[in-house]
């Protein structure tokens, strides 16, 4: 696509989204929720540490660590998590080396160990 055509398309999409912002936002939100559900089903529906099963609290963790470095390789200078990462996982066929953790366990792993392991 030439630069002129690309700019025309960008302006067209921008006008279209501004004309019906609620439709676009709701459509994107529904897509993101479906994508996250697919990812969680592929890697397990519960936290690998504490068995939390509420999807709002769940995320994908790099089992061997190094998530920031890996995301920098994928997305450039500013590592992106969330739905861009979920799209990559789906596109790559749900590769191994990842697991589902809740936010508490995931953050605890960064700080030296899961808080649930200390309680048990």
**47, 102 contact by CB (below 8 A):** yes
Whether this prediction's pTM lies above 0.75 is answered by: no
**Residue 24: pLDDT band with limits 50, 70, 90:** low
Other CB atoms closer than 10 Å to residue 61's CB: what's the count? 22
Number of domains in the chain: 1
- Per-residue pLDDT tens digits for 27-82: 888 898 999 999 999 999 999 988 899 999 999 988 888 888 888 888 887 766 77
Apex CA 51: angle with CA 45 and CA 53, to 5°? 45
Q: Which domain holds residue 12?
A: 3-119
């Amino acid at each position: 696509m030439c630069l002129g055509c690309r700019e025309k398309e960008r302006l067209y999409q921008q006008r279209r989204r501004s004309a019906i912002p609620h439709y676009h936002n709701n459509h994107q939100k529904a897509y993101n929720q479906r994508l996250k559900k697919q990812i969680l089903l592929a890697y397990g529906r519960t936290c690998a540490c504490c068995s939390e099963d509420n999807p709002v609290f769940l995320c994908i963790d790099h089992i061997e660590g190094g998530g920031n470095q890996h995301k920098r390789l994928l997305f450039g200078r500013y590592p992106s998590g969330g739905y861009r990462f979920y799209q990559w996982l789906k596109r790559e066929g749900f590769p191994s080396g990842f697991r589902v953790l809740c936010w508490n366990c995931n953050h605890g792993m960064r700080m030296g160990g899961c808080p649930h392991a200390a309680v048990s």
